[in-house]
């Protein structure tokens, strides 16, 4: 790592919900917590920020005793190697008081002497699983993490990204595109792409452990899916041609919604096969 890079301190933030297609963004943080030495160093408590009818508390068994776990945001310190420590923030997207929530996040980053904040997101898009999943970058003063011409709803990663830039942090967002026709299963290929992009920014090679194997299994399952549906196969080949020729992620198709519905129905039957007739 260069001397200038060693002086930078990174915080990586990912939020569950609308911004997190197939949990690819929050799974990136979970991967870091699973693979590297980490410790909890702070929380943003829940009561002021969450609607419990949309982000419900969970009943869990902890050492044989029932316990209610409330939605909250947690901060961690993660040691990547002897030269690299990063901070991560993860929680459900809050329902209320976003400006105050972001300021609390930034105060925590300031206390940890963070210089760079990277927010992660994942979105469904018209892209092919047979190609490297696109990852878009933006700085905190860009118009949108997905597209410079975008006008429309945004999520907490975008709001935090802009607030960080206004407060003087180096701020950027990474968004991975997930094939919309594959439904809502986990997407290890998306997580791996975000991890690769993070590594190139921070200047480290992250341990991917089993991500490559899981991503290959994800692709094989998708291959089997398109072999069973001629319309979907034609659609994916169309996406491949468009991505190869122009690199564009959003390819309009009049049958996209129907294909997604058929795909989700197929995946449900795949995961829960009908009992054989006697």
The set of residues, in sequence order, having a beta carbon less than 8 Å from that of 268 and lying 6+ positions away, is none
121: which strand partners?
A: 175
Amino acid 99: pLDDT? 95
C-alpha dihedral, 33 to 39 to 42 to 48, nearest 10°: 40
pLDDT surpasses 90 at 259: no
- Evaluate if residue 145 carries a pLDDT over 60: no
Report the C-alpha gap between 185 and 192 in whole angstroms.
15
**Predicted confidence band at 209 (pLDDT cuts at 50, 70, 90)?**
confident
Share of the chain above pLDDT 90, in %: 54
Share of the chain above pLDDT 70, in %: 82
CA dist list (Å): 232 to 130, 247, 265: 13, 20, 13
Average pLDDT over every residue of 2-18:
81
pLDDT tens readout for residues 172-186 = 999 999 998 887 779
Indicate the pLDDT class of residue 120, thresholds 50, 70 and 90: very high
How many Å apart are CA 9 and CA 208, to the nearest integer?
22
Q: How confident is the model at residue 252 (pLDDT cuts 50, 70, 90)?
A: very low
Six-digit token pair at 215?
Answer: 């991503």
Q: Which of 42-51, 153-162, 260-269 has the lowest mean pLDDT?
A: 260-269
- In 3D space, the residue among 99, 144, 278, 118 whose CA is nearest the CA of residue 201 turns out to be 118
Residue 21 in this model has a pLDDT that exceeds 80: yes
> Is pLDDT at 275 greater than 70 in this prediction?
no
Pairing of strands 73-81, 37-44: antiparallel
Domains within the chain, CATH numbers bracketed? 7-214 (3.40.50.10900)
pLDDT at 260 over 50: no
Q: Is the pLDDT of residue 150 over 70?
A: no
């Amino acid at each position: 790592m260069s001397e200038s890079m060693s002086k930078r301190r990174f915080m990586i933030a990912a939020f569950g919900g609308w911004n997190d297609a197939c949990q690819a963004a929050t799974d990136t943080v979970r991967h870091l917590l699973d693979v590297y030495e980490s410790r909890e160093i702070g929380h943003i408590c829940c009561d002021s920020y969450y609607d419990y009818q949309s982000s419900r508390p969970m009943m869990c068994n902890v050492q044989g005793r029932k316990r209610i776990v409330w939605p909250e945001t947690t901060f961690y310190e993660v040691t990547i190697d002897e030269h690299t420590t990063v901070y991560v923030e993860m929680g459900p997207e809050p329902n209320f008081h976003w400006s105050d929530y972001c300021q609390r996040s930034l105060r925590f980053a300031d206390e940890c002497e963070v210089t760079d904040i990277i927010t992660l997101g994942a979105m469904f898009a018209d892209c092919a699983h047979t190609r490297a999943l696109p990852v878009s970058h933006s700085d905190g003063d860009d118009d949108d993490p997905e597209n410079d011409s975008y006008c429309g709803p945004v999520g907490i990663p975008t709001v935090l990204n802009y607030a960080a830039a206004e407060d003087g942090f180096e701020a950027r967002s990474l968004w991975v595109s997930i094939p919309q026709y594959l439904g809502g299963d986990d997407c290890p290929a998306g997580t791996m792409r975000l991890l690769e992009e993070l590594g190139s920014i921070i200047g480290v090679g992250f341990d991917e452990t089993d991500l490559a194997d899981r991503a290959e299994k994800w692709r094989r399952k998708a291959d089997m899916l398109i072999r069973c549906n001629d319309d979907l196969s034609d659609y994916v080949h169309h996406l491949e041609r468009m991505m190869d020729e122009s690199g564009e992620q959003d390819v309009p198709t009049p049958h996209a919604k129907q294909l997604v519905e058929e795909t989700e129905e197929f995946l449900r039957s795949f995961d829960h096969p009908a009992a054989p007739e006697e």
